[in-house]
Amino acid sequence: MRIDKYLKNSRLIKRRTVAKDACEQSRIEINGKQVKPSANVAVGDKVTLRLGESYITVEVLALTEHVTKDSAKEMYRILDEN
């Protein structure tokens, strides 16, 4: 699954266009590497989001195309947050 779509489906970022912009501004990393919006994410990957002064690192637990609001939290596990 593309990283921009994953961020939207997991509700870590509200809209896909915002996720795309964050990737283009080098604010998203997968396993320590800055990525483009089209980069693929897999189960077990560690995704770091830098938004403003804060950051959050999550581990990908599931890749689901259609997600309800309640089950979106099951797509990732928070590893580090600031």
20: its two tokens: 């795309």
Residue 33 in this model has a pLDDT that exceeds 90: yes
Q: What pLDDT, on a 0 to 100 scale, did the predictor assign at position 51?
A: 87
What are the backbone angles phi and psi of residue 11, rounded to the nearest 5°?
A: 65, 25
Which domain range does residue 76 map to?
3-81
Q: What pLDDT, on a 0 to 100 scale, did the predictor assign at position 52?
A: 87
70: its two tokens: 């309640």
**Total-model pTM:** 0.92
Tell me how many domains the chain contains.
1
What's the CATH code of the domain at 72?
3.10.290.10
Q: What pLDDT, on a 0 to 100 scale, did the predictor assign at position 47?
A: 97
78: its two tokens: 């928070």
> Coil, strand or helix: which one is 49?
strand
Q: Mean pLDDT throughout 53-76?
A: 94
Residue 30 in this model has a pLDDT that exceeds 90: yes
Q: Of all residues in the chain, what percent carry a pLDDT higher than 90?
A: 93
